[in-house]
Structure 1
């Protein structure tokens, strides 16, 4: 063999060896580095968001191989569904702040993702869906719990989940305009419940089906809600109605949006018809919470007509729907965490009894099918005792369906 042939043969062997190494490197995945999914120590909000978001990103980071280093990284589109307060099912100033911080962290420190707005136009592009919750912890005063999860759109499985705790830095938990104005509690809506379950689902497990199957309609509802928050009530009404026309669009949030938009536009008849559908859906799910606000220490409704103006409409529809469906109901009064326990127990029971009398006056067929009681502040959802818009859900009346 000549010197030239030998050199050629050595070059071929070297090329084959390099190719083999590349192939092995591409096929073998090194064991992933351990990822801390939950940070227990209470941090500042910025630190907590960084810890949870970085953990989430690390769990879906592609394996580092020789070939992947040679190729230009492909960004993975992520759809962010706005986060919720897990105690109330509401969007608040704090959940908006969380969304912005998570979004910013992903854009700067997770180059593998392309964060998309939660809108219908983004649905066809999204590979992943990101959900999150933040809420005040009951057993840790001054601490909020954050949960984030990322699900793959194609398979419906959660691919990453991370949690962290944040110290209360005088967080603003005031509801956004839509949730401030809503007369009903959204917590029992199956889509809202499914969203919050998904935020705590372990990797490898399926995201909640009731939530995931309705993501397209939910995106439309969120767009309508953004319009409502911007006081574009006519545009919001059109989009809420459009969402209701879709197979998955009949949700508490869309029906409630039709009611709220019509009320803001002065369409009282349409608003009452829409509220009747809200009540019917609540009764069908065997739980309906309504925000009746009373004067302090009294069973009289709040004196400001801007707040209590629609209450007669609400009572009429609750009575009418309950009579038509021939249900039996427990009417449960709640108060905020202000004053003594004994005082609030008595006051909440008196307010529930007042509502019972009003419903029976509207629909005499309900006499004998209603019971009233009060639980004071023992079932607070917010628990701050501020007695303002941020804890209005604590001063609610719930209607629980029972067998007659």
Structure 2
């Protein structure tokens, strides 16, 4: 008769051998899916291939995570990744090409890395996720035309650590850099501390901490993205409801939130509410000491664009900027004009200064008490953000007017 203890020992050893073989087989399957070598930092490739390589490299790095073998052993317990929409690394905007990159990332991960469940960012997905994937696509200013850098980072939400990060270099002159609907229509540049935190996290090496403010605001970002998606689909009331929900959160005082409130209220004909939202937008920008507004002028002129659908709201914008600036009684306001890279440097510097002067005079007319605290400057195209000279929606930020709060004594 067999000893029960001996039988149990034999069964246990057999199970351990089988378990080891299963782990090796599962890991081998995953490694096969990741067969492409990690992205070489000097290698430049077409857009689609670069995205695929970046995803593969990012996922290969997850094998170094302590819980990797446990996840391989139990495929039913998939780790959840939420993708926070990719941004242009210079402007902080979502664009047509960042959306295209995101779609390819999701497709690649679903096809090749089944140990992860991948979802677009929304309130429910953020609550259930263990990781957030962020990324930037940045034009390389010091390289030849069509050179871009794609950076992806995978951050563990519980620890706040970037567990994997990769960079791929792209050569493609035909990428569609037009901002998506919300960013195209926003009157004020949306780049603020929260957006800076996203960009910083996407470019943080593995093993380091992600930006704490970015992670802290991720639940609000999810609500905000729901609003942005509804706006893009033309569902104005739904978008307004979600923007209002974001604004009511403790960390909802953000430029993207109040841009969205303003836009949807205008679409719904609620002009008084829209003016209040723009006033709050101006206040937030001035409190951060930099408000960038997309005033559009006629080409080569100091007159606003002759299209009431665009410039018809400019008097209201100027009124609210003047009112908010007037309340900062101990500070001065520097009004700086900018132009895109079209024409000579001297012509653009002169034109940008003339435009700044016109805006300064309009502000003084709205708030006479502000007149002595206003200054103007013209930068031409020396501080372009995009710098392509396309003169369309893709580089509208280059033709901005900036309002910067300064100490009057220091600026005199």
Instruction: Give the TM-score of the pair, scaled to structure 2.
Output: 0.89
Aligned residue runs from structure 1 range 129-278, under 5 A: 129-141=132-144, 142-187=146-191, 189-278=192-281
Closer/same/farther in 2, CA of residues 83 and 235 from structure 1, 3 Å limit: same
CA deviation after TM superposition for structure 1 residue 153, in Å:
1.3
Q: CA RMSD in A?
A: 2.8
Residues 147-166 of structure 1 deviation map (CA, whole Å, 9 limit, x = unaligned): 10011111111111111111
Contact 2:71/2:78 (8 A) holds in 1? no
1:79–1:128 Cα contact (<8 Å) kept: yes
Task: State the alpha-carbon separation in 2 of the partners of residues 92 and 129 from structure 1.
Answer: 20
Equivalent of 2:49, from 32, 47, 58?
A: 47
Structure 1 residues 275-284 or 59-68, which shifts more? 59-68
Residue of structure 2 equivalent to 1:330: 334
C-alpha distance 202-35 of structure 1, shift in aligned 2 (>3 A):
farther
* Cα contact 1:26–1:65 (8 A) shared by 2: no
Distance (Å, rounded) in 1 between the aligned partners of 2:116 and 2:6? 43
How far residue 316 of structure 1 moved from its aligned partner, in angstroms, is 0.4
What residue in structure 2 maps to residue 85 of structure 1?
88
User: For 1:12 and 1:361, how far apart are their aligned partners in 2?
Assistant: 92
Determine the C-alpha separation between the residues in 1 that align with 2:343 and 2:71: 63
Q: What is the CA–CA distance in structure 1 between the aligned matches of 2:310 and 2:386, rounded to whole Å?
A: 20
- CA deviations 1:249-302 (Å, max 9, x no partner) are 221111111111111112111111000000111111111100011000000000
Distance verdict in 2 for CA 1:65–1:201, change over 3 Å? closer
Would the aligned equivalents of 1:131 and 1:198 in 2 still touch at CA under 8 Å?
A: yes
Residue number in structure 2 paired with 1:106: 109
Counterpart of 1:291 (choices 281, 289, 294) is 294
Aligned partner of residue 260 in structure 2, secondary structure: helix
Shift of 1:39: 3.1
Distance 1:100 1:10, change over 3 A: same
Q: 2:75–2:115: 8 Å Cα contact kept in structure 1?
A: no
Equivalent-residue separation in structure 2 for 1:184 and 1:310 (angstroms): 13
Number of positions where the alignment pairs a residue of Structure 1 with one of Structure 2 = 396
Post-superposition Cα deviations, 1:124-147, rounded to whole Å, max 9, x if no partner, equal 211110101102110112201111
CA gap of 1:284–1:15, structure 2 versus 1, over 3 A, is same
Structure 2 CA distance for partners of 1:197 and 1:64, relative to 1, 3 Å: closer
Determine if contact 1:158/1:205 at 8 Å carries over to the other structure: yes
Indicate the residue corresponding to 2:285 in structure 1: 282
- Describe how 1:287-366 pairs up with structure 2 within 5 A: 287-326=290-329, 327-366=331-370
Does structure 2 conserve the Cα–Cα contact (< 8 Å) formed by 1:332 and 1:373? yes
- Please give the TM-score of this superposition, normalised by the length of structure 1: 0.91
Query: Which segments of 5 or more consecutive residues in structure 1 lack a partner in the other structure?
Result: none
User: Which shifted more, 127-136 or 64-73?
Assistant: 64-73
C-alpha separation in 2, matches of 1:175 and 1:123? 25
SS of residue paired to 2:169: strand
- Please give the alpha-carbon distance, in whole angstroms, between the structure 1 residues aligned to 2:401 and 2:88: 20
Q: SS where residue 40 of structure 1 aligns?
A: coil
Aligned residue number for residue 371 of structure 2? 367
Partner Cα separation in structure 2 for residue 49 and residue 168 of structure 1? 13
Quickly say closer, same or farther: Cα 1:38–1:281, change in 2 above 3 A. farther
Unaligned runs of 5+ in 2: none
Inter-partner Cα distance in structure 2 for 1:81 and 1:178 = 16
Cα distance between partner residues in 1 of 2:87 and 2:140? 14
Distance 2:218 2:371 in 1: 41
